[in-house]
């Protein structure tokens, strides 16, 4: 070794003195098996062991019991020897049993021939940084929870406000109906029915925002769909607003629920109308766009632009919050844009919005394209158009007694006979008993160990000719039920919707339809027994 003219020490000796004096880092050497060979001041400070206590001891004692059980010390040395370095952050244990969060680096030491002769290990105590990060994460989580609760409070109060108004109308008209003369009863019935319909729409919008509605996606050319709803969009605007279409020359095929897509466009049109009180321009464009990251993937882009008063950044940041609105009281529910947002997300797309005050606003819906999909025109079974079915023996499976009573009354008015069951298990017992049943109408969400979907599967397996109709307002199983080919009826339903759904379920069960051909010819439900919904 070279001698230093100032100290008379070799370079190796000077380096050793330097390392041993370092107090901010634990720097020490291990043999090939992991036993401690050197120990510096920083190691003693961090770990708590003196040189005499630790030399010759295995370095695994610095690891937690959990890490030792998983073999992390051996893994660390093996990784360092194989790759040239092992680096990690994790908990290490001091002599007194307390833990510290450490940043660890282990490098292999080799002789000139390349033979492994040991390891150099550097440990830095970063517990304070870890604690600060944890505290920051906890604060962020607390803030997130506070914001979530605030949003939930806003949502709850908005729902309560709107439903209180709806219930007030329904209860008030029903009470008036008790005492109303014959000539005024129809008016009260219509008022209560209209309010109930508003409640149904409100529920649908909430489910759309929460992405919990049941969608029925089908291959759709959005260009044709938009052209077909041109009059509807114009009616959502005003005469002083210019309506412009700029549709792509090529088909823009996506998999969407057509009804919900139409509602989303109408919501955007209505929003644009309110943003242009003095008139302006409303433009709807479509395009096909390939992504840069995946050139083989093509998206369909629908852009809606208005020349209205625009929004400030603060307002723009809140437009998808349910019940948030800048409109006057009674001019908007604050659920239009949340519906667009929920529908787009649930359809696998992205919704972007840009706006400039005094210039206008633009919404862009980007949906996954599906140019290879086969477009199948919608065909409505004859049974749905003319819902004349023979009197059926319907097994009604509903745990809510009031809902069951209403459904049974509606069906009995149409000459069907009803067998009631409160659970899926009870329904299976009825079927297994041999009691004649022509159709099963079941709620999808059922109490007990079996859901309505479980019931439908059992029926399909054991009684394949027996039609099943599943009713649901919200369920995580709805999409699965639809994928498996079961008929679905959306709650709340109109009486005629119930009749059509039953007719459709019968029409799509060839074996059952064949068995009832004679009945259908002879026993059509008389029209005089039908009452308006």
What confidence tens digit (pLDDT) does each residue in 4-47 have?
444 555 555 665 666 666 777 899 999 999 999 999 988 998 89
Q: Is 424 exposed, middle or buried (0-12, 13-18, 19+ CB in 10 A)?
A: buried
Lowest mean pLDDT among 212-226, 228-242, 314-328, 420-434: 314-328
**How far apart are alpha carbons 72 and 85 in whole angstroms?**
15
Lookup: tokens for 306: 């208005």
**How far apart are alpha carbons 31 and 119 in whole angstroms?**
6
Q: What is the location of CATH 3.30.565.10 in the chain?
A: 218-368
Lowest mean pLDDT among 113-127, 352-366, 367-381, 463-477: 367-381
pLDDT of 144 over the 90 cut: no
pLDDT at 479: 65
**How far apart are alpha carbons 275 and 391 in whole angstroms?**
53
The CATH architecture of the domain made up of 11-125 is: 2-Layer Sandwich (3.30)
- What are the C-alpha distances in Å from 94 to residues 43, 61, 72, 99, 507? 10, 9, 17, 6, 75
Geometric angle at alpha carbon 331, from 330 and 332, rounded to 5°: 95
Lookup: tokens for 329: 């009281």
Query: Measuring CA to CA, which residue among 81, 79, 34, 86 is closest to residue 61?
Result: 34
**How far apart are alpha carbons 33 and 60 in whole angstroms?**
11
Geometric angle at alpha carbon 220, from 219 and 226, rounded to 5°: 170
pLDDT of 2 over the 60 cut: no
Between helix 336-346 and helix 182-209 the angle, nearest 10°, is: 50
Mean pLDDT of the chain: 79
**How far apart are alpha carbons 486 and 188 in whole angstroms?**
37
What confidence tens digit (pLDDT) does each residue in 369-392 have?
876 655 554 433 333 344 457 889
| Cβ atoms 440, 455 nearer than 8 A | yes
What confidence tens digit (pLDDT) does each residue in 87-96 have?
999 999 999 9
Q: What is the location of CATH 1.10.287.130 in the chain?
A: 132-209
Q: Are strands 350-356 and 360-368 parallel, antiparallel or unpaired?
A: antiparallel
What confidence tens digit (pLDDT) does each residue in 152-207 have?
555 555 556 566 667 677 777 777 788 888 888 888 888 877 777 767 666 665 66
At residue 442, φ and ψ (nearest 5 deg) are: -130, 145
Lookup: tokens for 36: 């401690």
Q: Are strands 99-110 and 86-93 parallel, antiparallel or unpaired?
A: antiparallel
Q: What is the location of CATH 3.30.450.20 in the chain?
A: 11-125
| Cβ atoms 264, 344 nearer than 8 A | yes
Q: Using 50, 70 and 90 to split pLDDT, how confident is the model at 524? A: very low
pLDDT of 54 over the 90 cut: yes
Q: What is the mean pLDDT of residues 137-142?
A: 81
**How far apart are alpha carbons 478 and 441 in whole angstroms?**
15
**How far apart are alpha carbons 468 and 380 in whole angstroms?**
19
pLDDT at 420: 93
pTM of the model: 0.43
- Looking from the CA of 345 toward its CB, the CA atoms found within 13 Å total 15
Q: What is the mean pLDDT of residues 456-471?
A: 91
**How far apart are alpha carbons 99 and 201 in whole angstroms?**
57
What is the CATH number that goes with domain 132-209? 1.10.287.130
pLDDT of 525 over the 60 cut: no
Burial 282-313 (b: 16+ CB within 10 A, else e): bbbbbbbeeeeeeeeebbbbbbbbbbbbbbee
Q: Is 95 exposed, middle or buried (0-12, 13-18, 19+ CB in 10 A)?
A: middle
Q: Is the dihedral of CA 305, 310, 316, 321 positive or negative?
A: negative
Q: Which residues pair with 452 in a beta bridge?
A: none
What confidence tens digit (pLDDT) does each residue in 207-266 have?
655 545 556 778 889 999 898 888 778 877 888 899 999 999 888 899 888 877 887 888
What confidence tens digit (pLDDT) does each residue in 55-68 have?
999 999 999 999 99
**How far apart are alpha carbons 46 and 59 in whole angstroms?**
14
What is the CATH number that goes with domain 382-529? 3.40.50.2300
Q: What is the location of CATH 3.40.50.2300 in the chain?
A: 382-529
**How far apart are alpha carbons 333 and 203 in whole angstroms?**
12
Fold topology of 218-368:
Heat Shock Protein 90 (3.30.565)
Residue with tokens 């319909």: 197
| Cβ atoms 91, 131 nearer than 8 A | no
Residues 6+ apart with CB under 8 A from 423: 397, 399, 446, 447, 448, 450
Rg of the chain taking only CA atoms, in angstroms:
36
């Amino acid at each position: 070794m070279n001698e230093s003219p100032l100290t008379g020490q070799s370079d190796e000796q000077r380096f050793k003195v330097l390392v041993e004096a370092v107090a901010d880092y634990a720097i020490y050497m291990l043999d090939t098996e992991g036993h401690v060979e050197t120990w510096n001041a920083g190691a003693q400070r961090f770990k708590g062991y003196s040189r005499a206590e630790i030399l010759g001891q295995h370095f695994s004692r610095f690891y937690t019991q959990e890490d030792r059980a998983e073999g992390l010390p051996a893994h660390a040395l093996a990784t360092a020897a194989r790759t040239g370095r092992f680096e990690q952050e994790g908990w290490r244990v001091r002599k007194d049993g307390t833990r510290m969060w450490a940043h660890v680096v282990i490098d292999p030491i080799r002789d000139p021939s390349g033979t492994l002769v040991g390891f150099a290990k550097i440990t830095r105590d970063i517990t304070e940084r870890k604690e600060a990060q944890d505290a920051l994460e906890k604060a962020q989580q607390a803030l997130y929870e506070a914001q979530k609760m605030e949003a939930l409070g806003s949502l709850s109060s908005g729902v309560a406000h709107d439903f209180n108004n709806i219930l007030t109308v329904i209860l008030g008209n029903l009470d008036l109906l008790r005492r109303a003369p014959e000539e005024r009863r129809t008016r009260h019935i219509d008022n209560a029915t209209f309010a109930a319909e508003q409640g149904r729409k409100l529920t649908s919008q909430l489910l759309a925002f929460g992405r919990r509605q049941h969608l029925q996606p089908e291959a759709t050319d959005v260009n044709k769909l938009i052209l077909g709803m041109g009059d509807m969009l114009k009616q959502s605007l005003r005469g002083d607003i210019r309506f412009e279409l700029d549709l792509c020359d090529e088909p823009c095929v996506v998999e969407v629920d057509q009804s919900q897509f139409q509602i989303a466009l109408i919501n955007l049109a209505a929003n644009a109308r309110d943003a242009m009180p003095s008139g302006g321009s409303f433009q709807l464009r479509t395009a096909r766009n390939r992504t840069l990251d995946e050139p083989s993937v093509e998206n369909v882009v629908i852009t809606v632009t208005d020349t209205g008063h625009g929004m400030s950044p603060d307002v723009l940041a809140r437009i998808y919050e349910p019940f948030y609105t800048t409109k006057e009281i009674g001019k908007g529910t604050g659920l239009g844009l949340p519906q667009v947002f929920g529908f787009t997300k649930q359809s696998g797309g992205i919704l972007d919005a840009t706006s400039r005050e005094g210039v206008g606003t633009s919404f862009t819906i980007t949906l996954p394209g599906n140019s290879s999909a086969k477009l199948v025109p919608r065909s409505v079974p004859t049974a749905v158009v003319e819902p004349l079915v023979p009197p059926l023996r319907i097994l009604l499976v509903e745990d809510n007694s009031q809902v069951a009573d209403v459904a049974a009354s509606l069906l009995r008015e149409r000459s069907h006979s009803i067998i009631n069951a409160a659970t899926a298990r009870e329904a299976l017992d009825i079927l297994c008993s041999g009691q004649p049943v022509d159709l099963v109408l079941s709620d999808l969400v059922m109490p007990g160990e079996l859901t309505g979907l479980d019931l439908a599967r059992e029926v399909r397996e054991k009684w394949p000719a027996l039609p099943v109709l599943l009713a649901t307002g919200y369920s995580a199983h709805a999409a699965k039920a639809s994928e498996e080919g079961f008929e679905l009826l959306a709650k709340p339903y109109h009486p005629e919707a119930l009749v059509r759904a039953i007719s459709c379920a019968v029409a799509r069960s060839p074996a059952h339809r064949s068995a009832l051909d004679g009945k259908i010819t002879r026993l059509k439900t008389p029209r005089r027994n039908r009452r308006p919904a």
